[in-house]
Structure 1
């Protein structure tokens, strides 16, 4: 994906929140062996690009959206652009445009997923202290009974 040689205004790094997304700009995600860039306008992702750093395989559009990975170790950078620069970048990266823009919530949901969200989504509860004590006592009684 072509980006300007001089970095635009850097607005945030780290955990992503909807309030940190500019009206016009791009989001850069570095996660392990993947680098992803998303062009954002009015809370919608309008273009996507992904690069697998190891194989140097580039993907565009919906395929790139599917390859986006956001983990707690990911480095997320958000850049604000002016309308002219944004239009230029969109024109130069025509192959990256999505057939239908995606809501920015797609990315925020990926970035905000934490352990508690996953546990509640799959209705898994953490074992209580009593549960662990019961398991240990049960285990000790089986071992001691041999």
Structure 2
């Protein structure tokens, strides 16, 4: 019978500790009506950590989730979500991730995911993105909360 050497035990323990064991799964619902009004993501503002997965779930039909151009951390490129399908955003870098429902973007269906603590490296760029008036109205308090 062979026993593990101290080096093997240390390497195995290190691999377990290095795994993203603390990553969370966060659910955001895409709704026709919610506490924030018509055509909303609930919650609309999410605080996350690198490695977390945000699941945008179509609670009601007629929605998708996709990145807002200019409202993603540098170097992050995410695909658009399909209509009436779950969209999973795995956040990898600190910063702000702006999300919209394309069919309802003009009437303010937006969400914001803040990844990390402290100031977001892309906060100024995210705040400078031109949004439709109703989307801008809903996004403004989320951007303020992200500071």
Task: Assess same fold via TM > 0.5.
Answer: no
Give the structure with higher Rg (CA).
Answer: 1
Q: Which structure has more RCO (C-alpha within 8 Å, separation ≥ 6)?
A: 1
> TM-score scaled to structure 1, two decimals?
0.26
